[in-house]
């Protein structure tokens, strides 16, 4: 009932013992197929590729796109402003901190191009393990993330840079990760109220907190408690 969220280190563990080239081939194909499915009328694709495995995924995606009769080029050979779709394969899950000046300029150019962006694994500039954004960051239209969602694609501010997140199966086994995401399956397991219950059946809650002008936290707590649901919620402001 909980979907695992992966950190960068947990992805390394999941990939351990697997053929790197084979994983890259699967990842690159997944990116290309999602890009064509999402943007069926697109003809020109330009990929911004880094030096690591993430960049390798992007280059393989270009090969798959070319085999499908698309015009697919790396950014070194074609201006990104001429692309119908930009593939962001600059940084992968190992990235953390702030992009260097040249990389930041590249990210800003991607965002300024005004074209749909397909991010490989997660938008460049997002910390996969925390969701933190320390500097320039790609604003993706869709993110094709490998094996499972990353903490950085689900936790703000990274989640707001990722657009729609699509998980690609690249043949790895699931891990019991530290972080998990509650999905609709667990909500369906929550007991439903019956007609015989009254307004005190689900209990009462007293929320004490906040001071004059600082009542946001207790107010939010009370609102969420009502949605839990709890029958009676009382908020008392701290002196």
At 146-156, the pLDDT tens digits run 999 999 999 99
Strand 2-5 relative to strand 117-120, pairing? unpaired
* Same domain? 81 vs 112: yes
Q: At what angle do helices 20-38 and 53-67 cross, to 10 degrees?
A: 50
* Same domain? 176 vs 212: no
Domains contained in the chain, number:
2
* Same domain? 156 vs 85: yes
* Same domain? 91 vs 14: yes
* Same domain? 180 vs 225: no
Tokens describing residue 82:
């001429």
pLDDT bin (cut points 50, 70, 90) of residue 197 is confident
* Same domain? 122 vs 13: yes
- Rounded to two decimals, the pTM is 0.79
In a domain, 158, yes or no: yes
Q: What is the pLDDT of residues 3-59, one digit of tens each?
A: 899 999 999 999 999 999 999 999 999 999 999 999 999 999 999 999 999 999 999
Element (H, E) at 146: strand 142-146
What CATH number is given to the structural domain containing 60?
3.40.50.10260
Element (H, E) at 106: helix 101-112
In a domain, 195, yes or no: no
Which domain, by its residues, includes 216? 204-237
Please answer whether residues 110 and 138 qualify as being in contact, where contact means their C-beta atoms are separated by less than 8 angstroms. Answer: yes
Radius of gyration of the chain (CA): 22
In a domain, 134, yes or no: yes
Integer Cα distance of 28 and 7 in angstroms: 21
């Amino acid at each position: 009932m909980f979907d695992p969220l992966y950190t960068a280190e947990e992805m390394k563990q999941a990939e351990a013992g697997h053929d790197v080239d084979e994983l890259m081939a699967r990842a690159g194909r997944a990116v290309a197929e999602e890009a064509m499915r999402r943007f069926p009328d697109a003809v020109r694709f330009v990929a911004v590729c880094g030096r690591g495995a993430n960049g390798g995924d992007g280059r393989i995606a270009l090969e798959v796109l070319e085999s499908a009769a698309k015009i697919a080029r790396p950014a070194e050979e074609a201006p990104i402003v001429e692309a119908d779709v930009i593939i962001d394969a600059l940084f992968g899950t190992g990235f953390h901190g702030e992009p260097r000046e040249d990389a930041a300029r590249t990210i800003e150019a991607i965002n300024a191009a005004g074209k749909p962006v397909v991010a490989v694994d997660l938008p460049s500039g997002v910390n996969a393990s925390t969701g933190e954004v320390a500097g320039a960051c790609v604003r993706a239209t869709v993110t094709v993330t490998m094996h499972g969602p990353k903490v950085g694609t689900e936790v703000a501010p990274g989640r707001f840079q990722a657009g729609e997140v699509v998980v690609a199966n690249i043949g790895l086994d699931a891990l019991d990760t530290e972080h998990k995401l509650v999905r609709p399956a667990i909500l369906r397991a929550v007991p439903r109220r019956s007609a015989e219950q009254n307004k005190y059946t689900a209990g009462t809650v007293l929320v004490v907190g906040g001071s004059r002008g600082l009542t946001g936290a207790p107010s939010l707590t009370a609102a969420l408690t009502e949605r839990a649901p709890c029958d009676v919620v009382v908020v008392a402001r701290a002196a």
